[in-house]
Structure 1
Amino acid sequence: MKKSLFLNIDFIMQLLMFICCASIVFYRVVVLQSILLIILSILVLIKNIKSFKLNKKNWPFITLGIFLSTIYIINYDQSISLKKIGESLMLFIIPVLSNNFFITNNKIINKKNLLIFYSICVSFLCLYIINFYFYYSPHHKYDWYLARFFIELFLKFHSTYIGVWVGVSVFILIDVLLKIKNNLLGILSIVIMIIIQISTLLILNTRMALYSIIIISLINSLLFLNKKQKIYGLIITLTLITSILVFTNRYKEDTLFVVKNSIVNSPRYPIYYCSLKLIKDSFWIGNNPTTLQTKQNDCYTCLHHKELAEKDTNSHSQYFDFFLKGGVFLFIAFIIMLFHKLKYTLQTKNYLYFSISLFFCFAFLTENILSRQYGLFIYFFVDLIFINVVFDEAHRNNK
């Protein structure tokens, strides 16, 4: 007897991924995202744990997950350590078990449709932000700082994470745009979504997301595209650069600040100074995560930056965060894992996953992306979809 579609584990997992995407529109439903991610993780383990084999490609991911879990077991009490261990499993181990995640006979549930659906959901979120921006224009009078303050205050969503969600979506849309042929309506729809999403990044002044999109677009245009696609890529890149310079004042202010002031006066200086100081003090084994924030706050206070201490400001760098918590060995394991992603995505010619992986590498420079649910969600979502191309020969060349 033919198995019911809704009893098929592949269908259930991929349907849950669509529900995860839909939750983006209702972005405050963090609890729902957490539950869905946990269910997905369990299903992936049930389906693939027996066929999993350790090899030279996946050992950095497994090592990093075990390393982090060990740190959490040692330093946290049981209730917190279990949560943290679960996060490390979702981030670094479970995705490498997800072989053949999208092999299914159902035509509705597939990778391309899921990615487009994700971008559509992000576009709806962007439209909501744009509408809010113009609705509150009498209050912020189009001042970028006040506008961002109002958006983050009332929407209760750090713009950095919106920037990461949107950045991933922009690369997906560009990839789809370059592959569309003889479909004017499809091309127009994709272009409109790109414009909406880039406009949101400009409104929020998410510098790292915008800079990363520009740099990665240039890399792709110069190295990986054919002559016709290079022209499109360069046009998109130049349009982005022009838009950023024309429609926002933040980058002009940043440039003037660097010219007129010492780097010591930069708002990021005390954050990175204290992070590097604590790294130096515990270079080999790292700091106890439960007392790390207290040490950082004490350092901020010594530098006469009490406002940073009062806000419990973290290291604002995922690289620093792992170095601080696990020392040089955890830091090296994290770097090797990222290097493996970039290396094998290039070897398998999956330029979309390469672009998104490089985008995360840039995003990790300025924010602890993997320390919050919003960042954990998008990182897990991307890897669960794409990481097979690193390990499976059948996924080469975007097949």
Structure 2
Amino acid sequence: MIKAIVKDYHSILRKSEQYILLALFFTIPLSPKLTTVLIIVYSLVSLLTFERKYFRNIWFRKPVFLLILVYFILVIGLSYSSDITSGFSKVQTQLSLLIFPLFLGGKNFLREQKEHYLLSFILGVVLTSLLCFGNSFYRYFETGDNYVLDEFSRRISIFFYVEFSAFLDLHPTYFSIYIGLSLFYLLSYYHNDRKYGLIIKWTSIAFLFVTFIFTSSKAGIFSFLIASCAYFIYSLIRKPNKYTISLLGTLILGATFMFFINPLLYQRSVQLVNSFDKVWMKQEQTNESSSIRFGLWKLSIQVSKNTPFYGYGTGSVVRTLNENCIDLFSFSNCEGLRNKNSHNQYLNFLVSNGFLVLIPFLLALFLGLVRAFKNKDQVFFFFIVFMGLNFLFESILQRERGAVFFCAFFILFLVCQNSQKNTEYV
């Protein structure tokens, strides 16, 4: 009798995990606070259903184990950090590097479950997009003007870039990453044979593509175009078909269309090219986002040469760059680089904890890529390439929105099985 009750209780908890995860993926683009609550709830439920075999699965899934190792290195890095307060904050922000590998990395999911979680996430992205457009139109009808002044008294549109999603505390870079993954999944993989399924799919794609343009994120948009076009070209080489050709053509036309309807994106792209020439070729520094980013890369590379193996300690990146900037740039140029991280995840790891943390992180990405290739999981393959490119332009894991998104999907793809053999519903 008692065994039956315990078994039923255990079964209920395991079924509840699935619904908690669905809600968790849905809230990732909407609300970090709500996502955090759901992560805590999921962790508690997982503890009650934890089985010994999960440890074995984690050990044999090397990328999962490597992410846990990365987190522990970050914790150890607190011992020699010059900024303990910031270090503790970063360890807390990047807790997803430990939570998802521990409580999700030892389980096995069916392919259908992965699709459910992806669709739940996409619904969250669509709702977030609707809220952003709704907020912008509300502000427009309330004030009668679609421009506001920023801190430098520059006129910026409430429909583009930072102002478009600022009310959700959602930076355009993260928003564009969410949309990029959603678009690729809908374009390359998702099929719906239900009535009006095709209409719903392409309406969602068109709406998300328009939202993508309005984010005006150079890193997210260019990374998506590079990763998706490379994938579709590779698919054409392996197996030419009309659908892939049409998708590739649509992406090229869509990319061209972006620059016609979004002058801000065109302007920021031109600034990107000019900034590269000034910073790397002419050794000049200007107070513009791309120029600042390139300057931070140069500064991070120079600083990391002093302690390449173990870095300056977790959370010490901003302070270290501030203290060493004057050695590379003039005082006036350093003012534009102050109080910023490396704006490159790889360099950020290199400055904070050196090759000690960068090597296992890169190895986790590489082994994940191998796993995706072996399993012929094109969405997982795209995800790693897409995120790998974005890591070049932004320190994605330094904010909770980026850390949760990356860890949740990276582990989800790793634990998904292509066949129904040796799988379990969670």
Q: TM-score, normalised by structure 2?
A: 0.78
Distance 1:245 1:353 in 2: 29
Counterpart for residue 242 of structure 1 = 256
Paired residue for 2:178, among 148, 153, 165?
165
Change (3 A) 1:259 1:139: same
Paired residue for 1:382, among 384, 388, 409?
409
Paired residue for 2:135, among 132, 137, 156?
132
Contact 2:344–2:391 (CA<8 Å) still a contact in 1?
yes
Counterpart for residue 38 of structure 2 = 36
| Residue identity opposite 2:13 in structure 1 | I
Paired residue for 1:55, among 57, 60, 64?
60
| Residue identity opposite 2:304 in structure 1 | I
Tell me the alpha carbon deviations over residues 270-304 of structure 1, each in whole angstroms, 9 at most, x when there is no partner.
21122112211221110123443222123446542
User: Unaligned stretches of 5+ in structure 2?
Assistant: 149-154, 286-290
Tell me the alpha carbon deviations over residues 190-226 of structure 1, each in whole angstroms, 9 at most, x when there is no partner.
1111222221221120112211221222222122364
Counterpart for residue 323 of structure 2 = 298
Distance 1:87 1:288 in 2: 19
Counterpart for residue 195 of structure 1 = 206
* 2:272 is the counterpart of 1:268: no
Contact 1:316–1:368 (CA<8 Å) still a contact in 2?
yes
Paired residue for 2:267, among 209, 230, 253?
253
| Residue identity opposite 2:303 in structure 1 | L
Counterpart for residue 367 of structure 1 = 394
Contact 2:97–2:407 (CA<8 Å) still a contact in 1?
no
Counterpart for residue 209 of structure 1 = 220
Contact 2:25–2:120 (CA<8 Å) still a contact in 1?
yes
* 2:64 is the counterpart of 1:90: no
- 1:238, distance to aligned residue in structure 2 (A): 1.8
Distance 1:9 1:73 in 2: 39
Give the CA RMSD over aligned residues.
Answer: 3.4
Counterpart for residue 229 of structure 1 = 243
Change (3 A) 1:71 1:216: same
Contact 2:110–2:420 (CA<8 Å) still a contact in 1?
no
Tell me the alpha carbon deviations over residues 65-111 of structure 1, each in whole angstroms, 9 at most, x when there is no partner.
433333246644797587367443125554432x22459xxxxx933
* 2:124 is the counterpart of 1:121: yes
Counterpart for residue 100 of structure 1 = 108
- 1:4, distance to aligned residue in structure 2 (A): 4.9
Report percent identity of matched pairs. 19
Moved over 6 A (4+): 390-393
| Residue identity opposite 1:274 in structure 2 | L
Counterpart for residue 19 of structure 1 = 23
Distance 2:269 2:260 in 1: 14
Distance 2:36 2:70 in 1: 21
- 1:135, distance to aligned residue in structure 2 (A): 4.3
Counterpart for residue 309 of structure 2 = 284
Distance 1:391 1:89 in 2: 25
User: Unaligned stretches of 5+ in structure 1?
Assistant: 104-108
- 1:253, distance to aligned residue in structure 2 (A): 2.6
Counterpart for residue 68 of structure 1 = 74
Q: Taking CA–CA contacts closer than 8 Å with sequence separation of 6 or more, which of the two structures ends up with the larger relative contact order?
A: 2
Distance 2:417 2:62 in 1: 8
Distance 2:312 2:418 in 1: 34
| Residue identity opposite 2:396 in structure 1 | I
Change (3 A) 1:279 1:322: same
Tell me the alpha carbon deviations over residues 227-281 of structure 1, each in whole angstroms, 9 at most, x when there is no partner.
1332232133223312222222244334544359523442322211221122112
| Residue identity opposite 1:356 in structure 2 | F
Number of matched residues? Answer: 385
Distance 1:136 1:240 in 2: 28
- 1:136, distance to aligned residue in structure 2 (A): 4.3
